[in-house]
A and B are shown apart, each in its own frame.
Chain A
Amino acid sequence: MDAMLHITTLHYLVLGAALFLLGVIGVLTRRNVVIVLMSIELILNAVNLNLVAFSRYWQGIHGAGALHGQVFAIFVITDAAAEAAVGLGILIAFFRNKETVNVDEVNLLKW
């Protein structure tokens, strides 16, 4: 084995888990909605990383044609873009009504 560490699927998974954890913490703790949205992007990208990693792993077993995971990641990116657009739209409407972008100053989502 080379001195250089061989990067395996496990590494990608650990990195993805870390990114995911960062995203979750961001979503749960940050008050600014923009930061929360950015954190959601982090979570989604953590998922993408996992998908691509497993896709690579899958190619090793079934040949280069097994690209399902990568295709799925592209879907998720598209989804993320749409989600960001809608989220920012809601944010602007929200700001116009409440003059704030802080999540904890709003408690409409009940009952």
Chain B
Amino acid sequence: MFLSYIWLIPLFPAVGAALMFFFGRRLQKSTVSAVCVGSVVLAFLLACGAVWQYTQWAAANDHRPYEKILYTWLGTDTGHLNFLKSDGTQAPLQADAGFLLDPLSSIWLLFVTGVGMLIHIYSTGYMAHEGGYYRFFGYLNLFMFSMLTLILANNYVLMFVGWEGVGLCSYLLIGFYFHRKSATDAGNKAFIVNRIGDAGFLLGMFFIAWYMGSLRFIDVTAAARSGHFAIGDPIITAATLLLFVGACGKSAQIPLYVWLPDAMEGPTPVSALIHAATMVTAGVYMVARSNALFVLAPTSMKTVAIVGALTAIFAASIGLVQNDIKRVLAYSTVSQLGYMFLALGVGAFSAAVFHVFTHAFFKALLFLGAGAVIHSMSGEQDMRNMGDLAHRIPITYRTMLVATLAIAGIPPFAGFFSKDEILWQTWASEGGAYRILWYVGYATALMTAFYMFRLIYLTFFGKPRMSHEVEHHIHECPHSMALPLLVLAVCSLSAGWLSWPASLGGSARFERFLDPVFNKEAQVLVEEGKAKQLAAGEKEAEHTSPIEYGLMFLSVAAAGVGWFMARRAYANADKGYAEPIAVGAPAVYNVLLNKYYVDEGYDYVFTGRRKIGNVRLGALGLGEASSWFDTHVIDGVVNGAGWITRLTATFSSWWDKWIIDGIGVNGPAILARMLSYPARLFEWGLVQWYALVMTAGLVGFVFYYVYH
């Protein structure tokens, strides 16, 4: 009964959002909380029921995905909206309001509604004293609706609707404090950067429709797995690369990651929900959803892996020196997303999904913890002004410590299992030059441990560095905030156990659960013998080898080393403490502190807010160039045309006046008047003179006839 009602899951938050939109202003805060939190709780319960029922249904139905189509939303069944496919045949353009439940969407569904519910509860405490309470919760519910639409969509078009919806909510919530210019700027930045990615997503969709004739996931996957398309097919490569551009925008990968650190301008629960746990993983979801296509395009896979690895280490290195507690976490998120794409790129789809899953818990927890710290510090976000909070806000400290241990990859916390899986799959996927990806991932793990423990030590240990006034106000967060922290801490500890690796005597249930979604690829690739990457599943069985234990030990060691280094540098930080990197390599420190000057570079090259010498490039430069072109060339042509028209008109007028009128028209008239002048002399108007002439004439005639 739950299964056929999965369409209700996104509907609950949609109703909540609609109520806030129409009546929110008039409602009490308690009513707003009840409606908005309640809608997400209902969605979560229904999601749990649906997933539970799906697992039973799937066991009896060959692990097929469950599809529930409400109605055809775009196009018609009779195919009035046809388009020309690449093979010259007609295909109907059709998109359903349809919902797809399979292991992949089940996992997303559970953690999005689960984490979303906890963050809604947390927000009732965090936002209690803020203005625009109903607006905030309306946006959050709208976000839940969009995200669930994105997850449950059974075709790319509906997914894109959700995709745009979450982008909109992200924009609205980043700019929630709209009276701050930096917040609205950050919102705009997020929106515009995401547009670039969305353009790629759209183009990728067009390619898929043109090539496969359908945008339904089931059809596309079936077509991709039919063996009809060769591995390395250029159109599929192009389509997947374009899809990946979309994923780069949404999931903050190089070069489109720049919006995510700025998105921290939004309220902290938003950072936790949208910009850490759920929305930014939509790109991973989309790539995982398109896994059948990506597997056919090794070039795209390699691109994904390389971009992911680069993003991971790049963002982690920036995170090493940031002082704003939320920015450290933002760069950490970018870096972890890089890990996920690295896993996707090497074909370890289930490892990527697993990391998304565990990351959702510990990163949401970190952000909520940071929010609790900021809350207790009266809004202070700079870690240089914190310190010695561990015993003052013990719940926050302990839960954040759990999350830090998880993200650093210390067993048996969740992050250890997922990160280790990714690193192992990276190592096992391909040899040769691609092994460098593992080194990059390993270095990132070291950095992650360092910057996370740096955050812990600077925030919770050392000497108190805040002002007395702030120190006086420090208080533990209310229950509504503490409860989600505790629940998430439990999840951060235990979520990893779902996929206890086989090498440690586990059964990797998480992976087995996802096998129906990803399994086929492994077979295709093995049969084709093209890419060894996906043989990892089998390899794991063969390779419960010393190497895996060695790597496992190395990554734990990296986490330990990072922890140790952070402890040595920051455990006793007092006012004006020294950054070890700034002491050791000031140049490197400056580059990292300024985020590799990427924003500045983008301002030079893409936005044109900065000039190179006297030359302005980018959008503003294009605007200036267009303006110059308009004033000088277009207007010149226009004015030139006008000048020529005026000149010819002047000449034409002169010609008309003097030649046509003068000679042609008036000339004959003047001539006639001149010639007629003698005749006029006869006529002087005296009637008797006329009579005399007439008489004389008559007499003349008579004489003529008589005497002739």
Contact = CB atoms under 8 A, between A and B. Distances in A.
Interface of A: 24, 27-29, 36, 103-104, 106-111
B683 A103 contact: no
B699 to A, nearest CB: 10
Interface string B106-142: 0000000000000000000000000000000000000
B589 to A, nearest CB: 110
B644 to A, nearest CB: 49
B692 interface: yes
A103 B691 CA distance: 12
B684 A103 contact: no
A106 B690 CA distance: 13
A12 B688 CA distance: 28
Contacts of A110: 683-685
Nearest to A25: B695
Nearest to B686: A107
B688 A28 contact: yes
5 contacts: A28-B688, A103-B687, A104-B686, A106-B687, A109-B686
Interface of B: 680, 683-688, 690-692, 695
Contacts of A29: 688
A77 B687 CA distance: 24
A61 B129 CA distance: 144
B669 to A, nearest CB: 16
A111 B685 CA distance: 8
A108 B687 CA distance: 9
A103 B683 CA distance: 15
Nearest to B692: A28
A44 to B, nearest CB: 15
Contacts of A104: 686, 688
A45 B691 CA distance: 19
Nearest to B696: A28
Contacts of B685: 106-110
Given A27-B688, A103-B688, A111 B695 contact: no
A103 B684 CA distance: 13
Complex A-B, nearest 6 residue pairs according to Cβ-Cβ distance, in ascending order: A107-B685, A110-B685, A110-B683, A109-B685, A28-B692, A107-B686
A42 to B, nearest CB: 14
A109 B688 contact: no
Contacts of B690: 109
Contacts of B683: 109-111
B686 A27 contact: no
A5 to B, nearest CB: 27
Nearest to B699: A24
A24 B684 contact: no
Contact of B695 (A24, A36, A107, A109): A24
Contacts of B688: 27-29, 36, 103-104
B680 A111 contact: yes
Instruction: Name the residue among B683, B687, B692 with the largest chain A CB count within 10 angstroms.
Output: B687
A104 B217 CA distance: 115
Given A103-B686, A106-B686, 19 more contacts: A24-B695, A27-B688, A28-B691, A28-B692, A28-B695, A29-B688, A36-B688, A106-B685, A107-B684, A107-B685, A107-B686, A109-B683, A109-B685, A109-B686, A109-B690, A110-B683, A110-B684, A110-B685, A111-B683
A67 to B, nearest CB: 29
A97 to B, nearest CB: 15
Contacts of B680: 111
A46 B692 CA distance: 19
Contacts of A108: 685
A83 B690 CA distance: 19
Contacts of A103: 686-688
